[in-house]
Each structure stands twice: as structure tokens, then as C-alpha cells.
Amino acid sequence: MSFFGFEADAAATVPSKVTQTATPQVASPAAITPLSVHEAVAPPETMTRSAPSDPEAMAQTLAQHPDFRVLRRLVPRTDYGPVKGQSNQRVIVLDTETTGLDSKGEKIIELAMLSVLVDTATGLPVGPVTIYESFEDPGKPIPAQITEITGIDDSMVKGLRIDDAAVTALVEQADLVVAHNAGFDRPFVEARFPVFAGKAWGCSFQGIDWKKEGSGSAKLEFLASERGWFYDAHRAQVDCHALLQVLASPLADGQTGLARLLAGAGQTRYKLRATGAPFEAKDKLKARGYRWDGEGRVWWCSLGSDALLDAECAWLRAEVYGQRSARVQLEALDSRVQYSSRSGLLTERAV
């Protein structure tokens, strides 16, 4: 996602996209005439009086009408205002494009990172954004389906290599690395750059319960759309800009996504494997959100706190194991291990 960042001018006209959220009542298809169509979907009264020629004025007019929602093109920001000596932590927002899904056999073809300070009191970005973006030649042809999704082809990456020293220098300064699907990005960048293995990671996809926040989807494009933006997705840098602005927005409790992820970085997550669960419990486990590990032949789930772990063990005892004695396997994952391909601390617990 190579999109060179720039700062929005507050007075600039921003291209907009309009989506209609309600279907006006119209006559039946058999009764529709050109005149009846114009009458049925008449524009807002303010537009009929004086149709503005300025796109932003038109967008503002439509935004006031209940049948329309206006989306504006997301404008990358390179500066979030002055740093006033407050307590800050440095966050890197990261995204990759790769030749495929398997980090063991596929390669990075594009890496983008935004490094920015976050005010720990407000959870908002402050100061300038340091941007790094580079292509890398994977040493093999880029599959056609990857080019179709990303727009990146062999000619764009030929002979190029990501600067190891520049990446290391930037990452060493970070307190937290954030990706929207860290379980995908982290194994790729750790395989290529050892510096990432020693850093705390957060995942904006799994680390925030977007359904609980009222969102219809956890996909980044959808989250941006809910906040009034659209952008050209599937290139690393513009995806990073979109994620940073989504995470700088308030959640339902007023806390920003950045603040939520920074707070979660100190918590241990658990991967619970329901070992020995009876076959007839599979539907309950699936409905509960458990996933099937075909290699280990066990149902598992991820839990974000000790309290959630206690509650889950109580549910398993009551609903799956039928009050009989059982032991489940736990894998404790702190922020330096979670979302990586490395194992956490393995223990067992009675339920």
C-alpha cells in the first residue's frame, strides 16, 4: 500500500463519495414514468433552491438529508500537532503485502510503517509521523491474484530490497507495534527482521471487540467507512494511515483505540485448548467461538484476561465436560509472544 503521506489542509476541498442509506418510496415499476421518477426521488429542498457547484458544499447539503451519508476520501496526516511535554509512548502502525498467506514459504513484497507518539493521557497521536515504505523483490514471480488485489507486479519490485538498518532503527524506538491482523503480519516481519521479535505487539482486529463497539464488521475498510472515510485499500502505506486514523477515533467508552491497545499490551492472553472435549459438544464449542485445530485435533479459543479465563473454565465445566473431572491446556501469551509463530508458556488447568 504505497501511498506517500501528506498533511491535510483544513481549508482544502476533500473529494467525497456519497452513499444512499435509505430507499425512497417510488411508484410500482409498471407505473413509473420519467416524471414520476423525478418526483419520487426529489433532491433535498435546499439543493433545488440553489444547487451549489462546489463539491464540498454539495456534500454538506447531502449530509444534512436523512436519506444520504457522505464519505470523504481519507487524507493521510503527517503531523498531529505539537508535543507539549506530556507523557507519551511511541507506536508503530505496520502493514505488509506478501506473495501469499504462509509466512514459512511466502515473502514480503511491500512494508509500510508509521511511527508516531501517543499521548498516554488522551490516547491521541501527537507530533510528526515518521513514514517508512519500501518494496522488496521476493526472488520469485508475484502470483497473478496478488497483483490483482494489490496492484503490485514484478516490474515494481525488481531488484529492490527493504533497508534493514532503517527498519531496525525505527522499530527499536517503538513501545508497541500495531497491525490490523497481527497474526498475519508479525510472523512475516519477524522472519525477515529479528528486531520485531523483542517488541510488544497489539492487534487492532483481535484486540478490540468491534462487535461490542457497535460495528457491523472488523474489516478496516468498513471501520473507516463508519467514520466517514473511503480510501484505496490493499496497499500498505494507505492502509496504515487508515488504521491510525481509525484508532485515533473514540470508542464507545470515549477511549481511543490506541489507548485501548496500549493498555492491553501489559495483559497476558491465553490460548485455551479444550482437550478431551466430547464429540457431541462440538456444536456448542463452535457456537461459542472455538476454532478447530485439525493438526492437534482439539477445539481452542483465545481469552484476553484472567477473568475471562476463569469464566470460560466455569462454562466448560458446566456445558461441555458435564461436571466430570477434566483438564484443559493453556498457553500464556504476553505481548512479546502473542500473534507470533512462537509458543508461549504451556500449562494445564483443572476445570
Q: What is the pLDDT of residue 45?
A: 52
**C-alpha span between 249 and 265 (Å, rounded):** 19
Whole-structure pTM value:
0.78
**C-alpha span between 272 and 343 (Å, rounded):** 13
Choice among 19-33, 179-193, 216-230 with the minimum mean pLDDT: 19-33
Is pLDDT of 307 > 70?
Answer: yes
Q: What is the pLDDT of residue 59?
A: 87
Q: What is the pLDDT of residue 14?
A: 40
- In the chain, what is the straight-line distance between the N-terminal and C-terminal CA atoms, in Å? 46
DSSP state of 203: E
Q: What is the average pLDDT across 293-308? A: 93
Mean residue pLDDT across the chain: 87
Is pLDDT of 53 > 80?
Answer: no
- The 10s digit of each residue's pLDDT in 204-237 is 998 999 999 999 999 999 999 999 999 998 899 9
- The 10s digit of each residue's pLDDT in 68-78 is 889 999 999 99
Residue 239 burial by Cβ neighbours in a 10 Å radius (0-12, 13-18, 19+): buried
Sorted by where each starts, the structural domains of the chain and their CATH numbers stand as 23-65 (no CATH), 88-264 (3.30.420.10), 269-350 (3.30.70)
Cβ atoms of 332 and 273 within 8 Å: the answer is no
Q: What is the average pLDDT across 313-330? A: 93
The three-state DSSP-derived secondary structure of 76-139 is CCCECCCCCCCCEEEEEEEEEEECCCCCCCCCEEEEEEEEEEEECCCCCEEEEEEEEEEECCCC
- The 10s digit of each residue's pLDDT in 267-293 is 899 999 999 999 999 999 999 999 999
Q: What is the average pLDDT across 98-125? A: 97
**Cell numbers found for residue 321:** 465436560
Q: What is the average pLDDT across 312-339? A: 93
85 — pLDDT class (breaks 50, 70, 90)? confident
Q: What is the pLDDT of residue 51?
A: 53
DSSP-assigned letters across all residues of 28-58: -GGG--HHHHHHHTPPPHHHHH---SSHHHH
